[in-house]
Amino acid sequence: MATSTIELAKSWLCEGRSALQVDDLFFRYRTTSEQARTWALEQVSFQVAAGEILGIVGPNGSGKSSLLKVLARLVSSHRGTILLGGQSLQQLSQHDIAQIVAVVPQEYVQVFPFTVAETVLMGRFPHRTPRFWSIGFGDDTEKDLICAHQAMIETDVLSLADRLMSDLSGGERQRVVIARALAQEPKILLLDEPTAFLDINHQIEICSLISRLRAERRLTVVLVSHDLNVASQYCDRVLMLKEGRLYRIGSPVETIRPDVLRMVYGCEVVVDAHPQTGRPRVTMPVGIGSAE
Amino acid sequence: MNPVTQVPPPPTHVESASIEHPALTTDTAHLLSQWMKTGSILTLHRWLLVIGGLIVASVVVLVVCLEFGATPVEIRTVVGAILSLLQREHIDADGLGTPGVIMVQIRLPRVLMGFLVGASLAGIGVTLQALLRNPLADPYVLGVSSGAALGVSLAMLLGIGTGFALLPTLPLFGFLGGLLSLVLIYRLAQSQGRLPVHSLLLAGVILNAILTALIMFITTIMDPNRSAGLMAWLMGSLTAPSYPALGVFVLYVAVVLAILMHKAQMLNVMTLGEDIARSLGIETEWVKKQLFVLTALLTGAVVSVSGMIGFVGMVIPHVVRMLVGSDHRLLFPASALVGGMFLVVSDTIARTLLAPSEIPVGIVTALAGGPFFLYLLLCRKDRMN
């Protein structure tokens, strides 16, 4: 074996070819309850080009988060093929995947009082080589510190290094979680609702951070959002899910349209152009009972 | 509903996509020294300082506690006895005198055993807390100890292994009982991939009640002469083991604790939740199974020699975490050392308070730990409101 699968995947991604290829994907959760018998994802096929930002949108329960979890193999037992850097996801170990894909989960619950610096350094876990005699004390190498330091500068959390995670505000915590993902040195970043529960200023901050990271680190980004405007303004392409099926994928102009949204969400919305970017902007219509 | 599949746009950056790191070597050294000062991260320096200090403290505690007991023995005699023991080629009881015999045959093995039991209980506590992402997890509270105790009582009822000579059979039954209840409680408390704090504790309480009832049932159908001994053991008590038995126990506990400590980094990541642990490259299902088996092995061994000693596994890691931080590379060994010291001191109190009669050490630890547990529970409630 001259080159391992993981090396092939990494070099594939460096060449800037399609980062993710999903073909005829089926997935359902392994539970015994009746309602869970249905597929969470059905017949989903799409590609993600290297360096693009893909937004996944859809109504609640349409399978957005499930799709993200399947892509990082946080849940297994899917049917169909997923190619990560040209290599089948099945052939890569969890450890291999972690060297390429980083995940920023929707909620980040930290039970124990770790400091910000400790949290970010945990992102180095997939790159640590376990030494038998280190009795668990795998000392942080200089490379680990450099990567953590760099990630903390990029997300502007270096000044928080010695603070406890529990003492941070929502926006700060989200930046630290992104720093942890960056310390992982991923090629692909998956984010689940990165702006949920954040104030407008932090929403802007996180979104512009993601755009900047894509440019600076040449990251491929897949983000799930319930906020259609976030998807429209910050994503190159938008993937729409409806009841576990891919309804439409394309540029924001092609997807964020009143007729498409009516079909997917089953409601009327107002879509006009954003005054600065010209991209579609979604607002609630004046309905019965609303103040005029 | 045909999905419009579109060819993705050409990538914007085709040239080399590797990230160039600016040369940060000197900066990193500076940063490291800064982080060392503020305690932001665990460094080897801090690790050695804390662990070294705790080892010294442990030795002091062990020696001082040797002095206390029903028959007071002076510390100088203690040291003299140990030194003379080391100088001799073979140990003979006559050369030591009565204090020496008490020391070498009874008190020393008991104190060492107490230290190991305490260290193991704290180690189990740290591991369970990380695994279940719950700072209130404790083998006693969750019913893991009861499971192990049921296994051991069953072995005693069936007459398999009645003494230390057959050490492996009792821990084996303890291990099986502990593992069974651990897996059961995990299944009971888990819902949709999550482990809610309160449902875990509730499941533990219920399981504990059922298992205790079963143990009580066993004691009632048992020969009354033997059931009295069983009851004393159940309340958590230490006895002086024979040296071969102590040797086996040392080896067993040391191996399991070393393996657990080897997984300290993994425990750190596991505390972030299963999804994040998986995204950081951990095969969580496999790691969980390993940790379940290791903690059950340790619980089985500890329960078979000392019965149900509660709250050491919860209180000690909690206090140590407040003092040294959450990084398991330091938290695990530090908790083990502090747990060992705590149990030796508790046992000394149990031995001396009502001398010449003894209180089961489990009562001492429960009286010290129970109120602390309630205090923590109240603190959590405050924070949630």
ipTM of the complex: 0.88
Residues of chain A with Cβ-Cβ distance to B262 below 8 Å are 132, 135-136
Between positions 106 and 145 of A, the ones with CB within 8 A of B are 108-118, 121-123, 125-126, 128, 130, 132, 135-140, 142, 145
- Average the pLDDT over A133-143 and give the result: 60
Confidence check: pLDDT of A137 > 60: no
Q: Which residue of A has its CA nearest to B323?
A: A113
| Mean pLDDT on A62-83 | 86
| pLDDT value of position B381 | 53
User: So what's the pLDDT on residue B137?
Assistant: 85
Say whether residue A168 is in contact with chain B using an 8 A CB cutoff.
Answer: no
A32 touches chain B (CB under 8 A): no
Share of chain A above pLDDT 90, in %: 30
**Could you tell me how many CB contacts below 8 A there are between chain A and chain B?**
186
* A105 φψ region: left (φ > 0), alpha (ψ -120 to 50), beta (else): beta
Per-residue pLDDT at B156 = 80
Residues of B in contact with A150 (CB under 8 A): 21-22, 24
Residue A190 pairs with which residues in a beta bridge? A103, A222
Cis peptide before B9 (omega within 30 of 0): no
- Cα distance between residue A202 and residue A271, in whole Å: 24
Tens digit of pLDDT at every position of chain B (385 positions): 344 444 444 444 433 334 444 444 566 667 666 766 666 778 777 888 999 999 999 999 998 888 877 677 776 776 676 677 667 665 555 555 666 677 777 888 899 999 999 999 999 999 999 988 888 888 888 888 899 989 888 888 877 655 544 456 778 888 888 899 888 888 887 766 666 767 788 888 889 899 999 988 988 888 777 777 788 888 888 888 888 888 888 998 999 999 998 888 889 999 988 889 999 988 888 888 889 889 988 998 898 888 888 889 989 999 899 888 899 999 999 999 999 999 999 999 988 888 778 888 888 998 888 888 788 777 765 544 3
- The answer to whether B119 and B137 have CB atoms below 8 angstroms apart is no
Dist CA B212 CA B218 (whole Å): 10
Confidence class for position A210, pLDDT limits 50, 70, 90: very high
pLDDT of residue A288: 61
Query: Containing H/E element for A25?
Result: strand A20-27
- Which residues have a Cβ under 8 Å from the Cβ of A67 and sit 6 or more positions away? A25, A27, A41, A44, A56, A224, A241
Shortest alpha-carbon distance between residue B12 and chain A (Å): 7
Q: Which residue of B has its CA nearest to A43?
A: B3
The whole-number pLDDT of residue A6 equals: 79
Q: How many whole angstroms separate alpha carbon B362 and alpha carbon B236?
A: 4
pLDDT of residue A223 exceeding 90: yes
pLDDT in the model for residue B385: 39
Q: Is A270 helix (H, G, I), strand (E, B) or coil?
A: strand
Q: A interface mutation test: which of B262, B275, B279 has the most A CBs within 10 A?
A: B279
B31 touches chain A (CB under 8 A): yes
Write the DSSP assignment of B213-225 as a string of letters: HHHHHHHHHS-HH
The answer to whether the CB atoms of A49 and B133 lie below 8 A apart is: no
Distance, in Å, from the CA atom of B316 to the CA atom of B140, rounded to the nearest integer, reads: 13
Cβ atoms of A248 and A255 within 8 Å: the answer is yes
pLDDT at B334: 95
Among the partner-chain residues A114, A136, A254, the one whose CB lies closest to the CB of B261 is A136
**What is the phi-psi region of residue A81: left when phi exceeds 0, alpha when psi lies from -120 to 50, beta otherwise?**
beta
Give the tokens for residue A125.
């876990």
List, in sequence order, every residue forming a beta bridge with A41; answer none if it has no partner: A27
Highest mean pLDDT among A2-11, A186-195, B7-16, B358-367: A186-195
Q: Tens digit of pLDDT for each residue in B252-282?
A: 899 999 999 888 888 999 998 888 999 998 8
Closest partner residue to A16 among B17, B28, B281, by Cβ?
B17
DSSP A102: E
Question: Could you tell me if A78 lies within 8 Å of chain B, comparing CB atoms?
Answer: no
Query: From CA B198, how far away is CA B308, in angstroms rounded?
Result: 23
Whether residue A267 has pLDDT greater than 80: yes
CA distance B136 to B291: 18
Residue B7: per-residue pLDDT: 44
Buried/exposed A73-85: b ≥16 CB within 10 Å, e otherwise: bbbeebebebbbb
Alpha carbon of A268: minimum distance to chain B alpha carbons (Å)? 19
The owner of tokens 């209980």 is B121
Is 50 exceeded by the pLDDT of residue A154? Answer: yes
Q: Is B40–A162 a contact, with Cβ atoms under 8 angstroms apart?
A: yes
pTM (two decimals): 0.85
Q: Give the SS3 label for residue B93.
A: helix
State the DSSP code for A139: P
Smallest CA–CA distance from A49 into chain B, residue? B8
Partners of B279 on chain A (C-beta within 8 Å) are: 72, 74, 98, 101-103, 105
Distance, in angstroms, between A291 CA and closest chain B CA?
Answer: 34
* B8–A52 C-beta distance less than 8 A: yes
Query: Scanning every residue of chain A, which has its alpha carbon at the shortest distance from the alpha carbon of B29?
Result: A142
> How high is the pLDDT of residue B240?
81
Q: Cα angle vertex A150, ends A149, A156, to 5°? A: 85
